[in-house]
Structure 1
Amino acid sequence: MKVVTSGEMREIDRRAIQEFGIPGVVLMENAALRVFEAAKDMLGEVAGKRVLVFAGKGNNGGDGFAAARHLANWGAEVEVVLFASKNSLSGDALINFSIIINMGLPVHEALVSGDLDSVRNRLAGAHLIIDAILGTGIKGTVKGPVRDAVSLINDSGIPVLSVDIPSGISGDDGRVCGAAVRADTTVTFGLPKRGHFLYPGAGYTGKLIIGDIGIPKGVVESYEGITGELITRSRIAGLITKRKRDAHKGTFGRVFFLAGSAGYTGAAFLACQGALKSGSGLVTLGVPESINPVMEVKLTEAMTLPLPETDGGILSRDAVPAVLEQVRASRALGVGPGLSTRKDVPEVVKTLVREADIPLVLDADALNSLADDPDILKSRKAPAVITPHPGEMARLLGTTTAEVQEDRIGAAQEAAGKWGVIAVLKGANTVVGHPDGRFFINTTGNPGMATGGTGDVLTGIITSFLGQGMSSLDAALAGVYIHGLAGDRASLQKGERGLTAGDIVETLPLVISEFEK
């Protein structure tokens, strides 16, 4: 499913109206029906319930006016709080406002903060607030009576249904524009907006409902400027195929990991387990020779390759010939988890980037080893996926973690375009960037996954999928979605608090089997 900016959605609406001849008031009516349906679900029995609609003067308010009409027709006691002069309304919003006036619905103008004093009293006993104040077209900072209304709504303890996007949230980047409504449910129209999935806005959205308002399919399909897409179950379903009954272990790919150092054997273990539990037929782990005995005990299904090391259990440059030999016998390479960046390691990583001729995944210390010269990624011989967390991405791009987090889409797009890689920017709602400018936002995962080792598991999954023959983009998309889904499944069994990377690993086979069916 496409995900759009506010401007892109306005252009889609414009095309539907001007090129297909759908009156704007029809789109507004359809939007209002989607809001009404969501309100019914939240209220249960509608008749006799008290609903306050907080509305602005634009189309967002118009959606609210029309929804108020439907609720009143079903027996709800509806009042409207208007954050504009009645005389300032125009277009489709005015049409729907005139209808509720003719129906006799109470409307209270809130032009200054003092006008909200009576609204506070009306909130007593209300069952639902509909937030239809600002919508996705917000410019500037929320202030004056609207800002006071946001506080009133958030402090009320009454369930909140936001129209299109919570008022005060930027539809383009999820920014809080001074203050924002915290919704329990948000109904958006046509296509989801970036701000629904980018934090902090994602934290204000609540349950997101994507409402069909009758925009012709061809309007979206013909709009070539949309670069964003959600990673959804349907997107991934076609990538996981059922296995042939006469398959053997070589059918599902030989993958090689270069990972681990003294004190960081767990990262290497989790990457290998992530690959094994994602279906790799043969997994080999190259490690500094002094920790090989530990890894032989930890790993029973994967093979280990002891490699030359420097003092302290750190990989030596003398390991390169043996590593390249193993690379030639493998179909995918994962580098970085627990590898360290000390001594010879950066040189080894850079040599692999230049010389490895199989698809590779670069994570953690592999990325930190390239931070002083990330342009070396341009010299590689095979497709690559990088999987930085925000701090690692900041080091690669020469910026700060805060700046990366402020524009996660832009950071993923910049890295992917600059170095010609698939860039997986980890975090809540992971963003995947493609060199051609496309980006993808993941829709699975939960806060319980914010624990050590989960990124190593993701490296294992993506490397496994590459080894099984997926393209670098498909492996990244399937990897982040299934990784998050396994975390969601594991959290249902064990709760988010205390969830471990090992719990995610153990859930992977059952999650993947769902797609095979």
Structure 2
Amino acid sequence: MPLPQPDGDGDKESRGRVLVVAGSVGVPGGALLAGLGALRAGAGKLQIATVAGIAPHLGLALPEALVVGLPETPDGGIAASSAVMLADRASRCDTVLIGPGMVEEAATATLVADLLARLGPAEEGGPRFVLDAAALAGLARDPAPLHRHEGRLVVTPHAGEMAGLLGCARSEVDADPLGCARRAAARLKAVVALKGGCTRIVSPDGRAWAYRGGTVGLATSGSGDTLAGIVTGLLARGAGPEQAAIWGVYLHGEAGNRLSRRIGPLGFLARELLAEIPAAMAALAESGTG
């Protein structure tokens, strides 16, 4: 599954447009890490939609992105009504990531369902989606909004979020991560990347891959936001959902391994992973495997 490589004549449009819907007043960094992850993975253009209160600051911290301010809830999250504003913008992007740094599950669930309903399905050329963190919460009650986008979806839960998706105990996921990932992929009609010491990537038809090559240092705050951004960037470049999830997980893990060798197995930061991604991709290309 070699990753699509841009030709020498391509411009930033040819590497895809990404929209990251993320962040909150309390957790603004999720949007920053995810957006940078998409760019480091090779996406051509980046837009971030976040709460109005942090949008100007995020724009200064990430001058490579167009940053849009959205209505806020009283607790500093993205209001569910933002789906109306986001639909047109999302329809002009190749890939949409929703969830990093979003802290209000009920509002996020409503926003996700409304936005998915407003955007065209695959046969109408709608965008691809990556759903992470709070964006997964409402899918346990009703996965139907995802189904019209079948073939264009990746979800990236950890074990606790997987338990919520399936309505089971965390211990059940820990006992059978592959079986649970297969159940979720079939139910959601999405590629599932179940994060953990061994990350399982499963397609809706049950095909599965495992990545065991990471380091314990990857279990750190913000690491999942970074992974979601990398997967999003690969999708924007033209990789399929399975490709993007598999290589995104690999590149994330390889970035951690590079930092482990240089800094140590523990104590490196999620934001430090980002600068390692281009070199990891270049090594893949040189080896002929990615």
Superposition deviation, residue 281 in structure 1: 0.7
* SS of residue in 2 equivalent to 1:334: strand
> In the alignment, does 2:199 pair up with 1:430?
yes
After superposition, what is the alpha-carbon deviation per residue over 1:83-114, rounded to whole angstroms, capped at 9, x for unaligned?
Answer: xxxxxxxxxxxxxxxxxxxxxxxxxxxxxxxx
**Aligned-residue offset at 1:375:** 4.3
Distance in 2, matches of 1:283 and 1:256, equals: 6
Separation of aligned partners in 2, 1:240 and 1:487: 23
Deviations 1:352-391 (A, max 9, x none): 2333321100000000233333344324466111100000
> Partners in 2 of 1:514 and 1:453 — Cα distance?
25
Structure 2 residue 239 is matched with structure 1 residue 239: no
Please give the TM-score of this superposition, normalised by the length of structure 1. 0.52
Q: 2:33 aligns with which of 270, 285, 299?
A: 270
The match for 2:82 is 319
Structure 2 length-normalised TM: 0.92
Match of residue 473, structure 1, among 218, 239, 242: 242
Alignment of 1:343-492 (within 5 A): 344-356=107-119, 357-380=126-149, 383-492=152-261
Q: Counterpart of 1:310 in 2: which secondary structure?
A: coil
Contact map agreement 2:4 2:238 (CA 8 A) in 1: no
Which position in structure 2 is the counterpart of 1:141? none
Count of equivalent residues = 280
Identity %: 35
Q: Which amino acid counterpart does residue 485 of structure 1 have in structure 2?
A: E
Deviations 1:450-503 (A, max 9, x none): 101111011001111111111111111111111111111111111111011111
Alpha-carbon shift at residue 313 of structure 1 (Å): 2.2
Letter in 1 for 2:284: F
Asked if the contact 2:18/2:232 (under 8 Å) is kept, the reply is: yes
Amino acid at match of 2:161: E
Q: Which amino acid aligns with 1:508?
A: I
What whole-Å deviation, never above 9, does each CA across 1:192-217 have from its counterpart, x for those lacking one?
Answer: xxxxxxxxxxxxxxxxxxxxxxxxxx
- Whole-angstrom distance in 2 between the partners of 1:250 and 1:305: 20
Alignment of 1:84-483 (within 5 A): 238-241=2-5, 243-342=6-105, 344-356=107-119, 357-380=126-149, 383-483=152-252
1:304 is paired with a residue whose SS is strand
Measure the CA separation in 1 of the matches of 2:237 and 2:60. Answer: 26
**Shift of the alpha carbon at 1:343?**
5.6
1:499 partnered with 2:265:
no
Tell me the distance in 2 between the aligned counterparts of 1:376 and 1:332: 17
In the alignment, the residues of structure 1 paired with residue 159 and residue 116 of structure 2 have an alpha-carbon distance, to the nearest angstrom, of: 22
Query: Once superposed, which parts of structure 1, at least 4 consecutive aligned residues long, lie more than 4 Å away?
Result: none
Report the residue type matching 2:200 in the other structure. Answer: V
Report how far residue 516 of structure 1 moved. 2.5
CA contact (8 A) 2:41 2:234 kept: yes
Note the alpha carbon deviations across 1:57-98, whole angstroms, 9 max, x for none.
xxxxxxxxxxxxxxxxxxxxxxxxxxxxxxxxxxxxxxxxxx
